C-alpha cells in the first residue's frame, strides 16, 4: 500500500475540519441535504464552461425522469456517454456530478447524458436500475432527436453508479441489444461484501467512505438480505461474458477496492476486453476532486482517451 498522495492528505484534513454525522445516524433526506450543502457545492464550484448544458424529460421504468445533456461543442450526431451518478443509490442527482460530467465531455470530446434515476429507499431495487435501463434504451432508439449518434454509445458511472452501469450493460447483453459499445466503471459497488480485505483495511472512516456507510447504502437499496445474491443488484454474482470493452478504475485507499479487483479477475477469467487503472494514494470520491487533486486531472484525460478510442470508428 502506498501513502496518501500529499494533495489527498490535505483534502482529507480540510474535510475533517468540518465533520458530519455518520450516514447511519441520518434519515435519507437529511443525508441528501448535508451532502448537497457540504460536498456538492464545494466540489462543483468553478466547473468548466460548455457551449450547452440542457435538461430533457425521458421515460423511466414507469414515470418520467430527466437527463442532463452536456455538449462540448461536437458536430452532430455525436458519440455519447450515458452517465449514472454515484451516491449509494440514496444520494446525488443531476447536480452532484456536474463537474465530472463537464470534464468527461471535454476529455472524451463526447456528449454526456447524465440520468436522474429515482433514489432509494423511496425507490428500492430494482427501480433505480430499471430507470437506468429504460433511459438508456430511449437514448439508443430516440437519441438522434437530441443530436446523439445512437451507434456510438458508451455507459459509465462511479460507486453505486458503476454498479448500475455494469448492471445496465448486463441487461443489454441479456436482451441481445448491441447499442452499448463500452463501459467506464469508477470504483464501483459490485460485491456487497462488508468483510473483504479492502473493507477491513480502509473501511474505518479515515478515507471518506466507511464500511458502515456502504452497509447503510445496501440496506437502503435492497429489499432484504437475499438480494445480495441477485446478479442484477450485485453484478459480481453475474456471468460476465459477452460485454463490450470496459475501463475500470479503482482508488487504492478505498473500502471498495476489492470490488474492482475481483471484477478484473472475473473479466480476465472470462477473456473479456478491459483496461484497469489503480489510482495510487487516492480515496473514494476522488473522481470529484480535479480542482484540488492534480493526479485526477490526468486520470480524467485517460478516461477521455479511452472514450475517444472506443467511440471513434463510424459504423456503416
Q: Which long-range contacts (CB under 8 A, 24 or more apart) does 162-166 make?
A: 162/84, 162/86, 162/186, 162/187, 162/188, 162/189, 162/190, 163/188, 163/189, 163/190, 163/234, 163/235, 164/84, 164/89, 164/117, 164/128, 164/129, 164/132, 165/82, 165/84, 165/132, 166/190, 166/235, 166/263
The residue annotated as part of the active site, out of 96, 114, 159, 210, is 159
159 in active site:
yes
Q: Given the residues 5, 85, 274, 284, select the one marked as catalytic.
A: 284
Assigned C-alpha cell, 131: 430507470
267: how many CB neighbours lie within 10 A of its CB? 18
The grid cell for 44 is: 462543483
Indicate which residue of 71, 254, 258, 259 is catalytic.
254
Q: Which helix (H) or strand (E) holds 213?
A: helix 211-221
Which residues are designated catalytic?
A: 159, 254, 284
Amino acid at each position: 500500500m502506498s501513502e496518501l498522495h500529499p494533495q489527498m492528505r490535505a483534502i482529507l484534513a480540510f474535510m475533517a475540519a468540518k465533520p458530519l454525522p455518520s450516514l447511519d445516524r441520518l434519515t435519507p433526506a437529511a443525508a441528501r441535504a448535508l451532502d448537497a450543502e457540504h460536498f456538492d457545492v464545494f466540489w462543483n464550484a468553478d466547473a468548466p464552461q460548455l457551449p450547452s448544458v440542457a435538461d430533457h424529460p425521458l421515460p423511466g421504468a414507469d414515470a418520467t425522469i430527466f437527463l442532463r445533456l452536456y455538449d462540448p461543442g461536437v458536430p452532430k450526431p455525436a458519440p455519447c456517454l450515458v452517465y449514472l451518478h454515484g451516491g449509494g443509490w440514496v444520494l446525488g442527482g443531476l447536480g452532484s456530478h456536474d463537474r465530472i460530467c463537464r470534464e468527461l465531455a471535454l476529455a472524451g470530446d463526447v456528449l454526456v447524458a447524465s440520468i436522474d434515476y429515482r433514489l432509494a429507499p423511496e425507490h428500492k431495487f430494482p427501480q433505480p436500475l430499471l430507470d437506468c435501463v429504460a433511459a438508456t434504451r430511449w437514448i439508443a432508439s430516440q437519441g438522434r432527436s437530441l443530436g446523439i449518434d445512437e451507434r456510438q454509445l458508451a455507459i459509465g458511472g462511479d460507486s453505486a453508479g458503476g454498479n448500475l452501469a455494469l448492471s445496465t450493460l448486463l441487461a443489454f447483453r441479456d436482451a441481445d441489444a448491441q447499442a452499448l459499445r463500452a463501459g467506464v466503471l469508477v470504483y464501483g459497488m459490485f460485491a456487497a461484501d462488508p468483510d473483504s480485505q479492502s473493507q477491513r483495511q480502509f473501511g474505518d472512516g479515515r478515507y471518506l467512505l466507511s464500511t458502515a456507510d456502504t452497509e447503510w447504502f445496501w440496506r437502503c437499496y435492497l429489499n432484504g438480505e437475499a438480494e445480495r445474491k441477485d446478479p442484477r443488484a450485485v453484478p459480481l454474482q453475474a456471468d460476465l461474458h459477452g460485454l463490450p470493452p470496459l475501463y475500470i478504475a479503482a482508488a487504492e485507499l478505498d473500502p471498495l477496492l476489492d470490488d474492482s479487483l475481483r471484477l478484473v479477475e472475473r473479466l480476465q477469467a472470462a477473456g473479456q476486453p478491459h483496461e484497469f487503472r489503480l489510482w495510487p494514494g487516492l480515496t473514494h470520491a476522488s473522481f470529484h476532486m480535479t480542482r484540488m487533486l492534480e493526479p485526477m486531472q490526468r486520470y480524467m484525460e485517460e478516461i477521455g482517451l479511452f472514450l475517444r478510442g472506443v467511440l471513434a470508428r463510424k459504423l456503416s
